[in-house]
Chain A
């Protein structure tokens, strides 16, 4: 069994934390798991990618066409790494663009989100969710990464149960935010189960 997941987004969106929680779930379930993280420069509003590879793997990096799932906190950031996705892979992305400053000052262009979604659907099974809105409803925009985890769990793609992931969320988040994050997780889970 091999399962490779790619998490992407913008520095500050909690990409790393989300991926980390999931990776720990696999370890507690006795599975071999490797993860690559981004530290340093990329945290300051830069593009962030983080990968989680489970099973009989040697490297946490994913080859082109090797990712089973892309979980992205921002639409363009899903597209940035699209060549990593398998033919029949799944993309779960938040729909809210974060405009990079070089676009604001007119140095580059942010593509039309509809075009982005069209391109994404041509590459795999696309699940769009308004995770930001859900996160706000759960209590704070900061829980967006946990909403995305909930959505991922709701898709039933992983070789571990949703309860296990939720448990890992609870174990890895400061006490006072547990309730809010549990709400976020469950709302994310429901959002993909229509």
Chain B
């Protein structure tokens, strides 16, 4: 494993570098709920644990895929207040789920270091929004670190544990898609894993009743004053001077683009690179602003640095013009890249725009789709066959959102993890339309349960479908409470969705294998007839969990029997089907030989290829 390399250097993914940092810092407990772009952080911990276990060695730390981000943060918080170094990672929206815990955890603080990683997703590559989680650092009063590349990510994680311990305060650590998913050389130190036990020392200041909370809040603010001193002296905040009196301030991956453009264009400027961005090194910022006639702030998403710098300039009456959002194409939306940053730097220095041209031929878009052989497609196809016109399909976070695209079009409303049930109940009250909602098994355990309790208690008339594909597929196939093993590779208690919902009081519960389309249709017909809350557990493993050998081979179309009814292409929509001239064919490199298409083809023109 590269991440455990004993060489001086390894080529690591940003997310792996974070883990290497934690491993060198002597991590004791790591927790998560998986979410892109953070997933490989957790998966790497899981792989390391299993790697050691398979060698008959004690991993020296504990790792857990928790039920959701809130639980993950709480588990690790307990470890950290007991003196064990802890790390919790999640995607940006995961922090929304954990925010209740987060906000008060800052009041209480920790004993051993606790690094909370939020992986933000500018451009929503795989997310429902692109919120800038740096505001959580301000909101909750957490020190904030933002690395630019894998090497810095590793060093910063190690430093984060120290700062956290110095202040007895958890640290927020902001990755973004472009720091998580870039690979670069990382200098390696000694691996430092050793199993320890903590000790919880009771302290009445850890029970946040109002009277205690009132005492803790001013203490937290004092800690932030200390944190500002740390920020002033941090080696992650520094100025690079390339001459002149124009200034550029940047943080995170934007800094890489700034450096690239400054060198490419050969412009004279000073660059203030900020790695510890909450609290800002105020004195350093004042000196920088005073040394510059004009300053350009390059940061992704919100004007987090820009507004603070403007406030500082105003308070200190510094005569400097600060440019940021809205200048030269710097936007509050989507991620930046070298082109966007080069363009604005050209403008800032009065250089002429660069020319570039895309293809003159129109190119078809190629968005992600449900895999060939995905069991969700089978469920969706069956549902569409039996559901009345106008049925509303609330959906949830996972691969199944890909069912939104034509021809399936079975996703009508989506907010966040678990929202399918709450909204299904609301739609069933608010309209006369039938409601069939969808969520995955992992989502069910993460945030589906309270919604189902609500549905049962009020007897809302809706069908809640749990697409139980035996894994957390979208984020890279992590285990969840419905699987028989956990993130350490240990045997775990497997909770069955059908048992859980029966326990919650759902009266009409059916389990069906979606790869049998007829049975699935019948199941949904019965559920549609039922008045009240019903749950269908559509259970079949994600096709990617099935070993390659068993997915080998492909199906083909007997051109003599094919009537070109187009059901396979225009209703079922397996991506392996395509038109070659006027013939419908199956792309053998895409087909995963599930055979479900043979059930949709009435003239029986689809057969296994020999």
Residues of A whose CB lies within 8 Å of any CB of B are 10-12, 20, 23-24, 27, 32-47, 57-66, 76-77, 79-80, 82-83, 98-105, 107-111, 115-116, 119, 132, 141
A-side contacts of B573, CB under 8 Å: 101, 105
Contact assessment for A39 and B40 in the assembled complex, using a CB-CB cutoff below 8 Å? yes
CA distance A27 to B7 in the complex (A): 12
CA distance A144 to B11 in the complex (A): 24
Which residues of B, 33-78, contact A by the 8 Å Cβ criterion? 36-37, 39-40
Which residues of B, 543-593, contact A by the 8 Å Cβ criterion? 569-570, 573, 575, 577-579, 587-590
Q: Which residue of B39, B253, B364, B588 is within 8 Å of A108 (Cβ)?
A: B364
A-side contacts of B578, CB under 8 Å: 99, 103-104
Contact assessment for B37 and A102 in the assembled complex, using a CB-CB cutoff below 8 Å? no
Cβ contacts B461-478/A at 8 Å (1 or 0 each): 000000000000011100
Q: Which residue of A12, A33, A111 is within 8 Å of B363 (Cβ)?
A: A111
Contact assessment for B263 and A36 in the assembled complex, using a CB-CB cutoff below 8 Å? no
Asked if A111 meets B362 with Cβ closer than 8 Å, knowing A33-B184, A99-B578, the reply is yes
In this assembly, does B356 line the interface, its C-beta being within 8 Å of a C-beta of chain A? Answer: yes
What distance in Å separates the Cβ of B576 from its nearest Cβ neighbour in chain A? 9
Contact assessment for A119 and B368 in the assembled complex, using a CB-CB cutoff below 8 Å? no
> Which of A98, A101, A132, A141 is most buried by chain B, counting CB atoms within 10 A of its CB?
A101
Subset of 26 A-B contacts with CB under 8 Å: A10-B366, A23-B11, A33-B11, A38-B125, A39-B36, A40-B36, A40-B37, A40-B126, A41-B474, A45-B590, A47-B366, A57-B260, A59-B257, A61-B178, A63-B260, A80-B359, A83-B356, A99-B578, A99-B587, A100-B365, A100-B366, A101-B573, A103-B364, A104-B577, A105-B569, A119-B360
B-side contacts of A109, CB under 8 Å: 362, 364
Shortest 9 CB-CB contacts between residues of A and residues of B: A64-B356, A40-B36, A46-B368, A40-B126, A59-B256, A99-B578, A58-B259, A35-B183, A108-B364
Secondary structure class of chain B's binding surface, majority of residues: loop
Binds A, one of B131-139, B335-343, B602-610: B335-343
> Which of A44, A102, A141 is most buried by chain B, counting CB atoms within 10 A of its CB?
A44
> Which of B10, B125, B354, B366 is most buried by chain A, counting CB atoms within 10 A of its CB?
B366
What distance in Å separates the Cβ of B579 from its nearest Cβ neighbour in chain A? 6
Which residues of B, 285-339, contact A by the 8 Å Cβ criterion? 337-339
Residue in chain B with minimal CB distance to A30: B9
Q: Which residue of A12, A37, A43, A66 is within 8 Å of B13 (Cβ)?
A: A37
Asked if A115 meets B570 with Cβ closer than 8 Å, knowing A37-B181, A44-B370, A65-B356, the reply is no
CA distance A102 to B126 in the complex (A): 20
Residue in chain A with minimal CB distance to B372: A45
Contact assessment for B354 and A64 in the assembled complex, using a CB-CB cutoff below 8 Å? yes
Chain B residues with a Cβ closer than 8 Å to the other chain, count:
64
Which residues of B, 431-481, contact A by the 8 Å Cβ criterion? 474-476
CA distance A59 to B339 in the complex (A): 12
Contact assessment for A79 and B570 in the assembled complex, using a CB-CB cutoff below 8 Å? no
What distance in Å separates the Cβ of A38 from its nearest Cβ neighbour in chain B? 7
What distance in Å separates the Cβ of B353 from its nearest Cβ neighbour in chain A? 11
Contact assessment for B406 and A107 in the assembled complex, using a CB-CB cutoff below 8 Å? yes
B-side contacts of A110, CB under 8 Å: 364
In this assembly, does B98 line the interface, its C-beta being within 8 Å of a C-beta of chain A? Answer: no
A-side contacts of B405, CB under 8 Å: 101-102
B-side contacts of A77, CB under 8 Å: 366
Contact assessment for B181 and A41 in the assembled complex, using a CB-CB cutoff below 8 Å? no
Residue in chain A with minimal CB distance to B571: A105
A-side contacts of B356, CB under 8 Å: 64-65, 83
What distance in Å separates the Cβ of B606 from its nearest Cβ neighbour in chain A? 15
In this assembly, does B361 line the interface, its C-beta being within 8 Å of a C-beta of chain A? Answer: yes
In this assembly, does B185 line the interface, its C-beta being within 8 Å of a C-beta of chain A? Answer: yes
In this assembly, does B503 line the interface, its C-beta being within 8 Å of a C-beta of chain A? Answer: no
Contact assessment for A40 and B475 in the assembled complex, using a CB-CB cutoff below 8 Å? yes
In this assembly, does B3 line the interface, its C-beta being within 8 Å of a C-beta of chain A? Answer: no
Contact assessment for B367 and A46 in the assembled complex, using a CB-CB cutoff below 8 Å? yes
A44-B399, A59-B259, A104-B569 are known; give 7 further A-B pairs, CB within 8 A. A39-B39, A40-B126, A44-B402, A45-B371, A47-B366, A111-B362, A115-B361
What distance in Å separates the Cβ of A3 from its nearest Cβ neighbour in chain B? 14
B-side contacts of A98, CB under 8 Å: 587, 589-590
CA distance A107 to B260 in the complex (A): 39
CA distance A141 to B573 in the complex (A): 23
Contact assessment for B357 and A83 in the assembled complex, using a CB-CB cutoff below 8 Å? yes
B-side contacts of A10, CB under 8 Å: 366
